[in-house]
Amino acid sequence: MFVARRAELTAPKQEIALLETAVNLLVPSATGDGGFVGPTINEFFPEVIAFAGTPFEINRVILIRFFAIIVLMLVFWIGTRRMKVVPTRWQSIAEMGLDFTRVNIAEDLLGEKDGKRFLPLITTVFFMVLFMNLTGIIPFLNLAGTSVIGVPLVLAIIAYCSFIYAGINRNGGRFFKNALFPPGVPKVLYIVVTPIEFISTFVIRPVTLTLRLMMNMVVGHLLLVLFFLATQFFFFEATGGFKLFGVGTIAFGLAFTLFEVLIAVLQAYVFAILTTVYIQLALLDEH
């Protein structure tokens, strides 16, 4: 846990520094007359709208999350409302989605029985991440619900608890023994192997789950904002030939919007499949 906290303490400063340099590197070409303002990290911390000062403060990001899960539940509510053996259009969409998590993730990795046990968790993780990712490119929302640490962290903690629960449930105390002292390794090497295994299994996993998802969404959002702000700047504030740059930046902006769709699906898939893989590894019965 110590290592995790240290990572959390050191990583943010590096990350911010990185983002700032990235922004600064991109910006100078446009700051000829000092009119250009790039996006900052404060994009992700909008003003509080309701319940200010309580632990239930609601801001724009949280409203976006509510919107995402309401749409998610609507799609699957309508899609599964009157299910027929021969599917209608809505039903086939819902079925396709649920079949994807059921067949391609849960049953593929965990097998029929365990797949069914963990299916609600895996389905929830996948679709919650997917729908919250997609708000990043929906006009007027323009911010992924997963780009603020809350959702990635909560989901990572749940994945963490799930695989530890799965391991203890299946193998009892042997789960920790197998995880920390892998069988077949010479006893002397445990001095080296055990700390590495401990960090990689019990520290790195939740941290990487959280950061991978969040940083993908943060960077995607910042890139899009940067492209569209730059387009605005080139078209309306820059003079002469610089206006032409605006065409390039808007083209990139559109291309990256499409790219963000891919990222949104991919990150949801990665999050769900890693959660499943961790559970699968915990369920393995090594002697």
What residue ranges bind other proteins (CB under 8 A)? 8, 11-12, 15-16, 37, 40-45, 51, 54-59, 61-62, 65-66, 69, 72-73, 76-77, 80, 83-85, 94-95, 98, 102, 119-121, 123-124, 127-128, 148-151, 153-155, 158, 211, 214, 218
- Residue with smaller CB distance to other proteins, 110 or 179: 110
CB of 283 to other proteins, least distance (A): 20
CB of 240 to other proteins, least distance (A): 25
- Residue with smaller CB distance to other proteins, 58 or 193: 58
- Is the alpha carbon torsion for 275, 122, 148, 222 positive or negative? positive
Q: State both tokens at 10.
A: 């050191």
- Residue with smaller CB distance to other proteins, 107 or 197: 107
Give CA separation, 96 vs 100, 102, 123, in Å.
6, 10, 12
- Residue with smaller CB distance to other proteins, 80 or 192: 80
CA distance 275 to 129: 12
Tell me the angle at which helices 205-236 and 2-26 cross, rounded to the nearest 10 degrees: 20
CB of 73 to other proteins, least distance (A): 5
Distance from the Cα of residue 45 to its chain's centroid: 17
- Residue with smaller CB distance to other proteins, 185 or 236: 236
Q: Where are the beta strands (DSSP E) in 166-268?
A: none
- Residue with smaller CB distance to other proteins, 44 or 278: 44
**Strand, helix or coil for residue 59:** strand
CB of 8 to other proteins, least distance (A): 6
Contacts of 249 (CB under 8 A, 6+ apart): 227, 228, 230, 231, 234
Determine how many CB atoms are found less than 10 A away from the CB of residue 173: 9
CB of 46 to other proteins, least distance (A): 9
CB of 193 to other proteins, least distance (A): 29
Q: List the beta bridge partners of residue 48.
A: 59
CA distance 80 to 280: 29
Contacts of 137 (CB under 8 A, 6+ apart): 224, 257, 260, 261, 264
- Residue with smaller CB distance to other proteins, 54 or 239: 54
CB of 31 to other proteins, least distance (A): 14
